[in-house]
Amino acid sequence: MPKDIGQLFHDETKYHRHRMPRGSGFRFKDPEPFKTYPNPLSVVELPPPDEEGGIPLWTALSRRRSRRDYSAKPITREQLSQLIWGSYGVSGRYGTYYLRTAPSAGALYPVETYLVVNSVEEVEPGLYHYNPPKHNLEQLKKGDLGKDLARACLGQGMVATASVVFVWTGIAARSKGKYGERAFRYIYMDAGHIGENLYLSAEALGLGCCGVGAFYDDEVNQVIGVDGKEETAIYLGTVGSLL
């Protein structure tokens, strides 16, 4: 790896008042604003989320902590629905745009949500992809993937004991057409907003949550079935019932 590649990336993607980049030099043909899997193993419909109420915001902020010890009690399908919507669900429309609970640079929404379900009531363990406009889950794999995912996350036990693990990927093409290489900054920022939304949603439901940035990238990509180039895992979040 070139020395100081992080600094180089930061320098090369800076905006300067008198020297703005002239675009990325290429355009993608209308990249899809969200991904769908045409032939899932099954589709899990989620109950409509509550869009009002919950605990006061200041309470959620002051209580929020990273919680890594979970009980074996499964979370409910209603809680799962609320967590997904709260972190990155659809909360409005603007023309053809589906606006989400997390902000996104240029409203391009380059982040996709996958779930490794370990123990959720009425939802079979396995791998799922979230379809935001339909608010449902496309099942991609069946079975217990928690241990494989934990191994891919440097052996972090909470990944296997959590009820559900959110895996967020980035599809750079969605943002690069507008922002060029600077898009990568925005994709990570978007993921940070989504992660905090998950923390606060979990807190509001009385559940524990922890962000996970330490993982073997290609091993996580393999578990969720993405190529690591056009689409790659960028951040994860575990959620489970508290002890």
Angle made by CA atoms 37, 47, 91, in degrees to the nearest 5: 75
Q: Return the number of other C-beta atoms located less than 10 Å from residue 122's C-beta.
A: 10
Query: In the set 33, 68, 78, 148, which binds ligand FMN (CB under 6 A)?
Result: 68
Q: Which is nearer to ligand FMN, 26 or 58 (CB)?
A: 58
Q: Hey, what's the torsion of the CAs at 177, 183, 184, 189, to 10 degrees?
A: -140
Q: Which is nearer to ligand FMN, 48 or 213 (CB)?
A: 213
Q: Are 10 and 4 in contact (CB under 8 A)?
A: no
Is residue 61 close enough to count as binding ligand FMN by CB under 6 A?
no
Query: In the set 4, 66, 147, 242, which binds ligand FMN (CB under 6 A)?
Result: 66
Q: Which is nearer to ligand FMN, 21 or 157 (CB)?
A: 157
- Binding segment for ligand FMN (CB under 6 A), chosen from 13-21, 135-143, 169-177, 207-215, is 207-215
Q: How far apart are CA 20 and CA 213, in angstroms?
A: 32
Is residue 143 close enough to count as binding ligand FMN by CB under 6 A?
no
Q: Which residue is nearest to ligand FMN (CB)?
A: 213
Q: Nearest distance from residue 10's CB to ligand FMN, in Å?
A: 17
Residue 126 amino acid letter: G
Q: Kind and range of the H or E element at 128?
A: strand 126-131
Pairing label, strands 164-171, 136-142: unpaired
Q: Which is nearer to ligand FMN, 49 or 237 (CB)?
A: 237
**In the complex, which residues of this chain contact ligand FMN (CB under 6 A)?**
65-66, 68, 156, 210-214
